[in-house]
């Protein structure tokens, strides 16, 4: 959910597991005074069920989109996952107030 708190691994790197797609995820964001959000960290469970806390390296221009008629903001990002810089997508569902990790 959007309002999720969790401890972040200071190294910001996943040491185990493989990420799989379409997961509801916890995200820590910075919110500017104008309301714009910038994702900083996200969490996911790998196929083994282990929790992973990932620091986002770079966020590219977010874009508004619709999925099944529902508005969302899509963030294209890069993050170190399993010691490799990999692209990932975070979708923020505006009406339901939750984040989804697409990988």
Looking at residue 23, its pLDDT comes to 62
81-100 pLDDT, tens digit each: 778 888 989 999 999 888 99
Q: Is residue 35 part of a domain?
A: yes
Question: Taking Cα atoms as reference points, which of 82, 72, 64, 10 lies closest to residue 41?
Answer: 10
Looking at residue 30, its pLDDT comes to 94
4-62 pLDDT, tens digit each: 333 334 344 444 444 444 567 889 999 999 989 999 999 877 777 788 888 999 999 89
Q: Is residue 69 part of a domain?
A: yes
Q: Is residue 53 part of a domain?
A: yes
**Where in the sequence is the domain holding 52, given as residue range(s)?**
23-102
- Residue 46: what are its φ and ψ, rounded to 5°? -85, 180
Q: Is residue 92 part of a domain?
A: yes
Looking at residue 17, its pLDDT comes to 46
Q: Is residue 13 part of a domain?
A: no
Q: Is residue 2 part of a domain?
A: no
- Domain count of the fold of the chain: 1
Residues with Cβ within 8 Å of 45's Cβ and at least 6 positions away in sequence, in order, are 23, 51, 52
Q: Is residue 7 part of a domain?
A: no
Q: Is residue 18 part of a domain?
A: no
């Amino acid at each position: 959910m959007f309002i999720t708190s969790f401890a972040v691994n200071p190294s910001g790197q996943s040491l185990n597991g493989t990420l799989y797609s379409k997961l509801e995820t916890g995200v820590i964001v910075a919110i500017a005074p104008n309301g714009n959000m910038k994702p900083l960290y996200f969490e996911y469970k790998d196929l083994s069920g282990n929790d992973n806390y990932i620091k986002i390296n770079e966020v590219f221009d977010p874009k508004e989109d619709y999925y099944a008629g529902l508005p969302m903001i899509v963030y294209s990002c890069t993050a170190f996952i399993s010691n490799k810089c990999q692209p990932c997508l975070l979708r923020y569902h505006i009406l339901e107030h939750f984040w989804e990790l697409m990988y």
